[in-house]
Amino acid sequence: MAKRRVKREPVVQPHDESIRLIPLTKGQVAIVDACEYERAMELNWAAAYRDTIDGYYAVAWTTMPDGTRKQIFMHHFIVGRDSEHVHHWDDNGLNNVRSNLRPCTHQENFRDRDKPSHNTSGYKGVSLDKRRNKWAAYIKVDGRKKHLGLFVSKEAAARAYNAAALLYFGEFARLNQIVS
């Protein structure tokens, strides 16, 4: 039985010969190192939207040795099957050049998330304590919420979160961009 190919628009390759573009469905394009291009093009890649990142990943279906079909993410394909989780440094799920990818644990990958959509302070780890009329800073470490203190300004609370995030999460910390 012939492979069914999804419709993909052709793309113009960049002048930078170290990277190649792989056309996906939904008008999306994945980026890979030139040395990975031929191997990656053997699969039929498509764009898959994920609301958890508010963006796309490149995915393909592959047949396993037992005959079952399994979905594979391009970033796992590039890094290798041994990695259960892979982190994109720039948070772009379609940028699959090796320098943008690193193996990680589920916790490390989760630490790099942006602030929740229901956040009203504008800063990760900061909320208004209405009873005290102050800004509370907190961080979640190993599933437990740690209170970092109360502050007069939300910017001060955001700085407290940033310091704790660097302490607990290191290179996986997602820091607040403080305006002020």
Query: Which regions of the chain carry the CATH code 3.30.730.10?
Result: 116-172
Q: What does the mean pLDDT of the chain come to?
A: 86
Domain 116-172 has CATH 3.30.730.10: yes
Question: pLDDT class for 1, splitting at 50, 70, 90?
Answer: very low
C-alpha to C-alpha distances, 79 to 11, 36, 130, 155, nearest whole angstrom: 24, 10, 46, 38
Instruction: List the 69-73 sheet strands across, edge first.
Output: 46-50, 55-63, 69-73
What gap in Å lies between CA 31 and CA 93, rounded to an integer? 10
Q: The pTM is what?
A: 0.66
Q: What pLDDT does residue 97 have?
A: 96
Mean pLDDT confidence for 167-171? 86
Tens digit of each residue's pLDDT (9 = 90 or more) over 115-153: 666 678 889 899 999 999 999 999 988 889 999 999 999
* C-alpha closest to that of 25 among 49, 7, 38, 10: 7
Instruction: Judge contact between 22 and 30, C-beta under 8 A.
Output: yes
Question: pLDDT class for 10, splitting at 50, 70, 90?
Answer: confident
Q: What pLDDT does residue 46 have?
A: 94
pLDDT for 8 beyond 80: no
If one compares 169 and 119, the residue with the highest pLDDT of the two is: 169
Residue type, 91: D
Burial (Cβ within 10 Å: 0-12, 13-18, ≥19) of residue 138 = middle
If one compares 81 and 45, the residue with the highest pLDDT of the two is: 45
Q: What pLDDT does residue 2 have?
A: 47
Instruction: Judge contact between 40 and 28, C-beta under 8 A.
Output: no
pLDDT for 102 beyond 90: no
Question: pLDDT class for 103, splitting at 50, 70, 90?
Answer: confident
